[in-house]
Amino acid sequence: MPSYPARKISSSDGQINVLQITDMHLSTVKGVIDKNLTSKCCCTHSFEAVLKQALSEDIRCDLILVTGDLVNEVKPDIYDHIFEVLHATNIPFACIAGNHDVTDELGGELPYFQRQLVPQPADARLLSRHIINTDYWQILLLNSAIPGKVAGEVTNADIDWLCAQLSACDKPALIALHHHVMLMHSEWIDAHIADNVSACWQRMAAFPHLRVIISGHTHQDQVRYHNGVTVYTTPSTCYQFKPYEDDFAYDKSALPGYRWLQLANNGQVASWVKRLDT
């Protein structure tokens, strides 16, 4: 069984196939029904079904990246269950924190902006400033979560770290974090974008080998391009948010999803989103 966290990934053909899953929002090991959704989404069942479906596809999976909001309540037994499920795949994996991994949200029955946010310490297994090297790529993981906040931040220290890694290694690079780094054109979710992204983009412009940024947080699939970088947001393994809405809204017609990324040995990337079969 691969040790955690993943640090070095190789393959016979030099290509690395990455499965990104995000925003699982488990509240209990057994799972609960979200009564706000007509689809009756059970987050635990959905997470495990997504993983089973993805790994049954006709594609080799070399690495699983989990980009935050593993839980909806910060409880050690929920993390234990998630890590047991991921270890059982026998595939190298790495997990970073989202806002729900460092914040308990009280008053779930209240309107979104009336809920109370309580800071919590992150589980020790969630990574920050972590490097995964492959033969042809470098994968850089950041923790953008701020305890007690929905919005995140890419700190100046984070940017310094990124610059140091990108200066030291000229392999094509992928950055993974929880919070989105480009506007989604949805007022409520863009209020919770990662702070300090303008400074980050400004300094990243010096590194043309930065090719890809992936994130979660937005519970939807969008693709953006900026300064030669392809920026992907990825659906939740649970419930989805309605795109381009200025007020908080679930997308009750969108199924749970996940993203594949193929990192080629020539620095190119192919990526697509799949949805859970009904």
Instruction: Set out the domains of the chain in order of their start, with CATH numbers.
Output: 13-273 (3.60.21.10)
Q: With helix as H, strand as E and coil as C, how does 93-145 read?
A: EEEECCHHHCEEEECCCCCHHHCEEEECCCCCCCECCEEEEECCCEEEECCCE
- What does the alpha-carbon distance between residue 20 and residue 54 come to, in Å, rounded to a whole number? 10
The tally of CA atoms less than 13 A away on the side-chain side of residue 250 is: 17
pLDDT, one tens digit per residue, over 95-143 is 999 999 999 988 777 776 778 999 999 999 999 999 999 999 999 999 9
Cβ within 8 Å of residue 10, ≥6 positions away: 134, 135
Can you tell me whether residue 195 is helix, strand or coil?
Answer: strand
Output Rg (C-alpha) for the chain, integer angstroms: 17
First to last CA, the chain: 31
Residue 243 and residue 226 in contact, taking contact as beta carbons nearer than 8 Å = no
Q: Are strands 116-119 and 103-106 parallel, antiparallel or unpaired?
A: antiparallel
The pLDDT assigned to 113 comes to 73
- pLDDT, tens digit (0-9, with 9 covering 90-100), for 158-178: 999 999 999 999 999 999 999
pLDDT at site 30 = 62
Cis peptide upstream of residue 5 (ω within 30 degrees of 0):
yes
Tell me if 140 sits within 8 A of 162, measured CB to CB: yes
Could you tell me the pTM of the whole model?
A: 0.94
How many angstroms separate the CA atoms of 122 and 199, rounded? 26
Output the pLDDT for position 39.
40
Mean pLDDT by 10 residues, the chain (278 residues): 95 97 88 45 90 98 98 96 98 98 86 85 97 98 97 98 98 98 96 96 98 98 97 97 93 96 97 94
